Structure 1
Amino acid sequence: MKFSKYITLGLLVVLAFTKIQAQEDDPVLLYSPASQNLVKFNRFLINPTFSTVREDKSYINLLHRNQSVQFKDNDQTYFLSYSGRIGDKSGLGLSLYTQKIGPVSNIGVLANYAYGVKLSDKSNFTFGGNLAYYSTGLDRNSIDVIDNEDFRINGTEDSNVLSFQPGFNISYGKFDFGVFAENLFDYNLKTSESLTDFSNKTYSSHLQYTHSFKNDSGIMESARLMPLARVRMNGQNRFASDTEGEQDIALGGSLILDLPKLGWLQGGYDSFYGASAGAGFNINRRLSLGYTMEKGLATDFDNLGVTHEISFAYSFTPNLTEDRVMLEDDYEDNLADNENSETSSLATNEEIDELKRKLAENDAIIEELMFRQDSLENSRQKDLERRFNMVMSMVRNETQGQRPDLEKRAENLFLNGQNRPALANTNSSNAGFVPNGTKTQARPTTVQDKTRNQITVAQSKTSTASRNVKSRKFKNLEGVKDGFYIVANVYKGGKYMDKFMNDLNERGFNSDYIDNPENGLKYVYLKRFDTWQEALDAHKSGVNGTYTDNLWIMNVDNRYTNEAYANNVDKIKGKSAKYADDILQTNVIVKDRVASNELEAKTYKIEGIGSGFYIIANVFANPKNANRFVRLLNSYGLSAGYFINPDNNWRYVYLKKHESWNNALISYYTNLNDSYNEKMWIMRVAPGRMA
């Protein structure tokens, strides 16, 4: 009995050892996709950081690679993937895939994640990884066997493998350098062993350059040229092996010309797989179809036929900033333009319209004050001229016209070294002022000068026709000769302005333009005159009947001084102080045809905020973004803050608070003494309420 027990135990050990050896002989196809041609979609297979590095779209992609088509049991790969950025600094990828070489196949799922951090103003560091789980083994349906009971086939089992593939990328300017460990950790869950020894691991590194074209239109709009050089070690290892092989080094490179308006062109070379060329077409704004052909050159692939890759993608653009990592953590999504693209932070259309109406009301009040400024300036000049003539008349009466030296001395004493006063015309003097409610179009097309205060000319009170002539006065246009210009159109520049001027010149006009650096507009004029009457006659006659479209007169008067402006500001304060805020608003509603007739001030209960007039720079729904925007403004030397509207929980970021409407207008009109040139508007907060 005791001897029989030993025999039984020995048989069990032998059988167990035999079973382990059989399991170790199970075929395993390693996860090792040929990624050298994936320069448009599925780029995270080249390096896991490429799901966010130089990536500006998200997409769903179906890829099929049919390698060496003349070989019967060739290598075939299918990928169904999603890849894209999930934030300004992170990217995500997810793939379902299957690979097959002869009777051995694997099928699995792969997840990708990448995250970037800023190193300096020109560089950032991105790290990421691919995590794959797949099942691999013998596909019995692909085997023609004589004996279906062959234990060598029936005894095989599938293996479940977990693989982790980390990588990193360093970006500096337009250059990218990275390293990728393609199977650093590959663990067979059935045998509890690693599939490859450390010496057989696959590594790759890349160096990439990105050149962005500056074209704003045509097929080259937003185009990119991206060459990439790559070195790969042990990339040919497809099956698990315990033996230590030679270190195989493969050199390669690729180039892609990405044309978002049309498609893309690509080419490449790999010392193992051969040369490749491909093209893709954007069927519409979202659908893309691509094809790549590869041919072996110096390896056995040369005798096995060409390789085909077909790609079908559905793309969509995420609402993210273009400069994904270059912002500090404290300033992520801090700008209003970025926030406006996030639906979670958007105000409703009705509330935006209300803000626009308030902004239009503020602009109209400023227009009215500017009109009063012109009237005050005109009255001052008239009074100064009258007193000057009276003094000079008294001197001439006393000297009987015999002492011109005394007359000259009296004139110098009266003027105190300034030029002799001349009667100012009543054209508007707020040259270059564009109300904050308007927005200059970015398209290179004809634009209207959106200054609203185009006041009817009253140069001659007895002339009815001159009151219907539109005119504007411009001060301190450096390099522009004083005079009256017949303006035909206003542009922001570009080919449309050149075409318009060429058409005028072909019609016999000697056209030119005046560049106003204050608002960035270019005023195309037909002719210049020294006097108002000459310009008025030319305007009325359509330049002697040669021009039938709309014209207006531009008065360039560079004699306006800063001292005169300061005097006008003081007079605005004194004059406008006679009017209460409600009176001004009532007048504006009556006069301003742009403002809505249904404009009614909404009031909200506000606690813990002082009354006054606030210069508002932006509005946020996200508290985090409001705090970051305030910190950004304060880093520029401003003293910004914000208050909360309890009705909608918006944060109103303000630059300055004034106790009077007049002081708020001065800050608005002077851009806070030229310290802030972005959009802003004025909000009045009454005691305990916001209006």
Structure 2
Amino acid sequence: MIKRNIILGLLMYSAIVGAQVSGGSQKYNSFTSRNFMKFNRFLTVPTFSALRENKTSLNAIVRNSFVDFEDSPKLYLLSYAGKMRENVGAGLAVYQQEVGVFKDFGALANYAHRMQLSDNLDLTFGFNVLYSRRSADGLKVNTQQPDPAISNFQDIPIVNWQPAVTLSFGKFDVGVFFENLLDFELRENKMATSFSEKTYSGHLVYTHEFTYAGGIFEAAVFRVLGLARKPGDGDFGYGGNVIFDLPKAGWLKAGYDKEYGISAGAGVNLSDKISIGFSYEKGDFAATNEIGIIYNFGEKSFSRRVPKRRSGSVSVKLPERKPKNKFRANDSSKELNSAYDSINKLNKKVDEILRILKENPPPAKELPEEKDTSELVVIPENEEKDTSLRRRTDTPWRRSTITRTRNGGSRTAYYVAANQFKSKENAEAYIEEKKWKFEKEGIDAKYVYDSKTKFYYVYFDSFAKKENAERMTEEFKDKKLFDGEDNDPLALKNKKTYKEAVFIVKITTGDGKQTYKERKPQPPAKILTIKKVGNMEEGYYIQVGAFGNKAYADRFVDELQNDNIAAGYFIHPSTGLRHVYILKTISKAKAIKLYENNLNGAYYDRKSIVNIK
């Protein structure tokens, strides 16, 4: 055993002294090629702190190399890193590395910035700044005669600037990393390595996110890293890592490096905040193990809900609620509204009588059965109609088409939006994250790019008139569709809910005047079941809105009735919401049929089927 330790010490000593003579700076950052690949990714490539990252963490790592021998090399590393802003990543690390009689103490700072070149192409520039100081401990030399090389050793302080560039497209990231582009030896005021001794590497990363997975695989990420490395005049090296990250449980990792051998590792998430990980590496000479504990500060969201008004920005304003009794102060206005309602009802009765006298009713396939029609207008008798809001004559629900923009065309519209992002990637991620909730409510979320503000807005629908967008916004807010979940970090941090974030933004797309019309989208019929409560009537309802404010519900019903569409609403006893519907039937097939043919061409806007049972 003693003989083997002496041989090892001689080998390590000769290797280190030889490296110092050559002046190569690789010895000052040899820990960068091997790490968890889940945390501390900036140690592998500086740009990784800003790529596919939305967390910050504090990490403590201990590595023992050549564990089969006594006094084996050790590395102690403490780091804090992650994404600081939407397009900015940063990190800070301090370390101590003991190799034989030599000790390296250093600190490393990281910065990375991602720039969007196009909708699907990003360029990220980053760098590490490393300060390292090497000293020798003569007390560790177990020899009878003092070694002049050790006793006369002077500390070697080095500053090393390590830039990197990465191009990202789709699920791939590819780039180059210059590990010692500017390495300056402070004691002798000279470069530590000549140009021919510079080390550079190339990297290729593939990342796949399991967006639709559930259970233990929810939000899982599979990442593959490939590295090729050229150390000065030396031979090419290569290596790779594969990690399967399961946020619900932990992670598994495997890798290979030409210089260090094969490796495997695993991690366990003890809680949402704390994780531990272990790696084992076996090379030609001896084994290496690494253990770490990680404190996770949690995910970060970098979206801006409602932007502040500033020069050159789009004015964003939440619709103001009109006072409920705004027009009630004037008794004559109330009488006029009442008379107007009576005239409309009389006109509809006259139309029905004339249709019967002419004996020319519409085909049965185009109208609901009589018993269903008689059940359409069901408004609680104990409630007085609220006529405080002015009724509008526009009937957008009868228009079967919407205006779209051709290539080179333009369109100005009012978008009902819920979020905005600087990058398309974050907008798509937000839509995927909330997709299950949108589909459950029959909402189709999309995003649109505003070239003026440089934001991607996640929106639900767009309108030519602002008042129509305001009505949809009020409908969403009354439905409480965007209440923040308990585990939503943004909602907890800002004490806001998603319904407060629904806003209207005016956007002009395209650069010309060419537009065209296309049919309004109609998602497949889905039936939402509501448990019967109190005196709610069972049946299938084609629902077109839900309001918490009685004035808005009464206005919408009147507007539909004025357009000869029989409408009513029922009140949910538990929520107090008024569900406006345009058909009630006991036949599921009939409800689906009228949903699919847009109530015989009378209502093309968004609607849903509700089954009360």
TM-score, scaled relative to structure 1: 0.48
Aligned match of 2:260: 273
Matches within 5 A, 1:403-482: 424-425=373-374, 427-428=376-377
Structure 2 residue 527 is matched with structure 1 residue 522: yes
| Mapped contact 1:378–1:426 kept (Cα < 8 A) | no
Closer, same or farther in 2 for the Cα pair 1:291/1:519, shift >3 Å?
A: same
Aligned match of 1:264: 251
Aligned match of 2:79: 81
Matches within 5 A, 1:631-646: none
Structure 2 residue 283 is matched with structure 1 residue 287: no
**SS in structure 2 of the partner of residue 385 of structure 1:** helix
**SS in structure 1 of the partner of residue 216 of structure 2:** coil
Cα deviation per residue 1:108-128 (whole Å; 9 max; x = unaligned)?
111000001111111100011
CA distance in 1, matches of 2:239, 2:260: 9
**SS in structure 2 of the partner of residue 294 of structure 1:** strand
CA distance in 2, matches of 1:74, 1:34: 19
CA distance in 1, matches of 2:253, 2:207: 14
Q: How many Å apart are 1:135 and its aligned residue?
A: 1.2
Aligned match of 1:666: none
| Mapped contact 2:24–2:197 kept (Cα < 8 A) | no
Cα deviation per residue 1:40-93 (whole Å; 9 max; x = unaligned)?
111111100011111121100011111111133433211100001111111110
Matches within 5 A, 1:95-134: 95-134=93-132
**SS in structure 2 of the partner of residue 146 of structure 1:** coil
Cα deviation per residue 1:398-452 (whole Å; 9 max; x = unaligned)?
xxxxxxxxxxxx656999xx9999795252499xx9xx9x9xx9877998999xx
| Mapped contact 2:23–2:192 kept (Cα < 8 A) | no
| Mapped contact 2:255–2:263 kept (Cα < 8 A) | yes
Aligned match of 1:383: 350
Q: How many Å apart are 1:373 and its aligned residue?
A: 11
CA distance in 2, matches of 1:233, 1:214: 37
Cα deviation per residue 1:494-534 (whole Å; 9 max; x = unaligned)?
xxxxxxxxxxxxxxxxxxxxxx95798524599xxxxxxxx
| Mapped contact 2:522–2:606 kept (Cα < 8 A) | no
Across the aligned residues of Structure 1 and Structure 2, the Cα RMSD in angstroms comes to: 5.4
CA distance in 2, matches of 1:374, 1:223: 58
CA distance in 1, matches of 2:128, 2:24: 23
Aligned match of 2:458: none
**SS in structure 1 of the partner of residue 350 of structure 2:** helix
CA distance in 1, matches of 2:541, 2:605: 29
TM-score, scaled relative to structure 2: 0.54
Question: Identical aligned pairs, as a percentage?
Answer: 32
| Mapped contact 1:65–1:76 kept (Cα < 8 A) | yes
**SS in structure 1 of the partner of residue 75 of structure 2:** strand
Unpaired runs of at least 5, structure 2: 1-19, 309-317, 329-333, 380-396, 398-415, 419-433, 444-480, 482-520, 545-554, 564-572, 578-602, 608-613
CA distance in 2, matches of 1:114, 1:414: 68
Q: 2:62 aligns with which of 64, 71, 75?
A: 64
Q: 1:552 aligns with which of 518, 535, 538?
A: 538
CA distance in 1, matches of 2:82, 2:272: 17
Q: 1:255 aligns with which of 237, 242, 246?
A: 242
Closer, same or farther in 2 for the Cα pair 1:171/1:157, shift >3 Å?
A: same
CA distance in 2, matches of 1:211, 1:87: 23
Aligned match of 1:210: 207
Q: 2:184 aligns with which of 183, 187, 190?
A: 187
**SS in structure 1 of the partner of residue 144 of structure 2:** coil
Structure 2 residue 292 is matched with structure 1 residue 311: yes
CA distance in 2, matches of 1:284, 1:47: 28
Closer, same or farther in 2 for the Cα pair 1:413/1:223, shift >3 Å?
A: closer
Aligned match of 1:398: none
Q: Report which of the two structures shows the higher radius of gyration computed on alpha carbons.
A: 1
Q: How many Å apart are 1:281 and its aligned residue?
A: 0.5
Bigger fraction of residues in strand: 2
Letter aligned with residue 140 of structure 2: S
**SS in structure 1 of the partner of residue 139 of structure 2:** helix
**SS in structure 2 of the partner of residue 50 of structure 1:** helix
**SS in structure 2 of the partner of residue 117 of structure 1:** strand
Closer, same or farther in 2 for the Cα pair 1:184/1:71, shift >3 Å?
A: farther
Closer, same or farther in 2 for the Cα pair 1:429/1:171, shift >3 Å?
A: farther
CA distance in 2, matches of 1:27, 1:444: 56
Q: 1:174 aligns with which of 158, 171, 175?
A: 171
| Mapped contact 2:55–2:297 kept (Cα < 8 A) | yes
Q: 1:142 aligns with which of 140, 154, 176?
A: 140
Q: How many Å apart are 1:36 and its aligned residue?
A: 3.0
CA distance in 1, matches of 2:225, 2:93: 24
| Mapped contact 1:49–1:127 kept (Cα < 8 A) | yes
